[in-house]
Amino acid sequence: MHKHVYIKTFGCQMNERDSEIMEQLLVRAGYICVRTSQDADLVILNTCSIRAKAEQKVFSLLGQLRQQKEKRPELRIAVAGCVAQQEGQHILRRMPHVDIIVGTQQFYQLPDMLQRLDQADSKQEICCTLDASFSIPPFQKLLHDAPPSPAEPEFRKFVTIMQGCNNFCSYCVVPATRGREISRPVQDILEEVRLLVARGIREITLLGQNVNSYGCTNDVADQPTGFADLLRMVAAIPGVQRLRFTSSNPQDLSVELVECFAELDNLCPHFHLPVQSGSDAVLKKMNRKYSRDLYLEKVAALRSACPDIAISTDVIVGFPGETDEDFKQTMDLLETVRYHGSFSFKYSDRPNTRSTEFSDKVAESIKSERLQRFQKRQDQISLEKNREYVGQTLEVMVEEIGSAKIKARTGSNHIVHFEDATERSPGDLVKVTIIHAGKHSLNGELPSP
Ligand code: SAM
Ligand code: SF4
């Protein structure tokens, strides 16, 4: 009899892609995916620990799952991903109803772990996390062995091109949870993209914590010289209608990569370029290896290569030692760049990061006030920038067909809602004239014939 698995994913696109791979591995092992924990024999929480809040969500959901396990002792509960990697055995001590802990880059062991649990005579927990050296690079084999399942009609996919990160930004838990940076061989990536396109995928997003440094840290025989070369190769695969990537550290944004935006028609005109702070003093303390001026130069180069490029960012407010003047610099940078959108966060202490030890922490009330100010101004700017699209006719890719409206996305990553009597499918490219702009999305209509 088939068993049922429910996977709940927290956090970034890397986690989404990891969940997809776990799903494929379990489907191969005879599981069927379900949409709620109540219908499942196995619940997997694929976790994120980037900020304390993300981790709290995991523990609160685990608390709720305890009640389900009391009613159904045969229910298996697994914690996977970054919190699993970071907390390991501590989770089992704090949450004894958890059966399996599976760290990042270890989830390929899940089917074996489940089998071991099934064969055990008495209650047993299994914990499998990488050691601090993160010396095993199993992800390459794993990704290669686990091609995407054709279960549902899909039109876009993430393709992982690298794992881990070597940058050690002083606030960031990623090097501790995902290990050292390692690039996937180019032929594996191209093979996966070709396979996806042959299955009808039209949009590819290349994924990594710092894709701009692709190919720099490990010596793979068939490695191209860098990320720009890889982009060109992927863009040249027939059938790749749209190409995106995330995320980027500005320090590694090369001239060649900027040129790709002028050169490649299917490279979407959107760049997510996390700045984190507008103050040089804070950037230095964050161990970001660029200055405010260098960042602005890179933004200018991108806009000169591709005048309609949309630029978005990540910002942390209230980093230890951030003064009013430092924060003013961040607000000033926002006015200078005028981002299309941004993700902004209050600084959060994380285990195994340098900034946790800094003594000059900013009060919670000040962090909240700064975050509010930043977000309020960003919303105004987003609205102003979105209004510039009104009257323009843009090509959008259909994402969802609602009962009244279609939801689609521009190359610049803006959501557009429009009505269309023609039967459309996700992945279709349609020309739409923008008639109204909100701060988070646009409304359009089909252009008059
Ligand atoms: N690799 C990307 C880069 O270099 O900018 C960032 C990836 S990280 C998963 C996503 C975002 O989370 C970061 O850009 C940062 O703004 C935010 N973040 C990371 N650690 C944080 C912390 N300790 N407190 C608050 N925000 C944090
Ligand atoms: Fe974290 Fe990004 Fe810095 Fe790497 S480059 S340590 S993922 S913020």
User: Cα of 344 to ligand 1 centre, how many Å?
Assistant: 9
User: Average of pLDDT values for 429-448?
Assistant: 96
pLDDT at 138: 45
- In this model, does residue 429 exceed pLDDT 70? yes
pLDDT at 28: 84
Q: How far is CA 232 from the centre of its chain?
A: 22
Pick from 61, 65, 50: which is nearest to 11 by CA?
50
Ligand 1 atom closest to the Cα of residue 344 is: 16
For the beta sheet containing 3-9, the strands, ordered from the edge strand earlier in sequence to the opposite edge, are 31-33, 3-9, 42-47, 76-81, 100-102, 126-128
Lowest mean pLDDT among 99-103, 137-141, 226-230, 360-364: 137-141
DSSP string, 135-197: ---THHHHHHH-PPP-SS--SEEEEE-EE--S---TT--HHHHH-S-EEPPHHHHHHHHHHHH
Which residue shows structure tokens 């039209």?
202
Which residue shows structure tokens 């946790």?
356
User: Cα of 4 to ligand 2 centre, how many Å?
Assistant: 35
- Tell which phi-psi region holds residue 338, choosing left (phi > 0), alpha (psi between -120 and 50) or beta: left
pTM of the predicted model over 0.85: yes
Q: Report CA Rg, the chain.
A: 23
pLDDT at 132: 43
User: Average of pLDDT values for 31-53?
Assistant: 94
Q: What angle do CA 286, 168, 258 make, to 5 degrees?
A: 80
User: Cα of 162 to ligand 1 centre, how many Å?
Assistant: 17
Residue whose Cα lies nearest atom 2 of ligand 2: it is 209
- In this model, does residue 144 exceed pLDDT 80? no
* β-strand partners of 81: 47
The rounded percent of the chain whose pLDDT value lies above 70 is 91
Residues in contact with ligand 1 by the CB-under-6-Å rule are 12, 50-51, 171-172, 174, 209-210, 247, 249, 274, 276, 314, 316, 345, 347-348, 350
User: Cα of 261 to ligand 1 centre, how many Å?
Assistant: 25
Separation CA 334–CA 342 (nearest Å): 10
